[in-house]
Amino acid sequence: MKLISEKQPLLILRKNKLKFSVTITLKKDVLDPQGKVVQNTLQNLGMDNLKNIRQGKYFEIDLDDNDQNEAKKKVDDMCKKLLANLIIEDYKVEKI
């Protein structure tokens, strides 16, 4: 019994993959106590010219999609539905 067809290509063509990054940050007027503590600690370490630090979240998302615009819309939808809480957070989607 032949397990592999003779015509099978050596390399299986990869599906088109698109990769996006999502950065989520707290809105400007929302207090960020974690960022503040990180900032204070760095200042204690002697980083005198440090002005401000805001802490956020970062996601890398792979999609099986050919159409970049469509894919970006889907990632946008993911942010709105789950990844970000729009009351307190802003998000930024970028193709990587």
Partner 1 sequence: MKSSVIVFPGSNCDRDISVALEKMQFKNQMVWHKESKLPKSDLIVVPGGFSYGDYLRSGAIAGKSIIINEVIKAANDGCLVLGICNGFQILTETGLLKGVLLRNENLKFINKDINIKVMNNETNFSKKYKKNEILKINIAHNEGNYFTNKEHLNELNEKNLIAFKYCNDEGDVNEKYNPNGSLENIAGIYNSKKNILGMMPHPERMVDKLISNTDGVNLFSSLLN
**Among the candidate windows 6-14, 32-40, 45-53, 67-75, which touches partner 1 by CB under 8 A?**
32-40
Identity of the residue, 41 or 66, whose beta carbon is nearer to partner 1 in the bound complex: 41
Determine contact, residues 27/33, Cβ cutoff 8 Å: no
Which one among 33, 44, 48, 69 touches partner 1, defined by CB under 8 A?
33
**16 makes contact with partner 1 (CB under 8 A):** no
Q: How far is CA 66 from CA 15, 17, 37, 70, in A?
A: 9, 7, 43, 8
| CA dist., res. 25 & res. 90, Å (int) | 5
Residues in the site for partner 1, rule: CB under 8 A? 30-31, 33-34, 37, 81-83, 85, 87-88
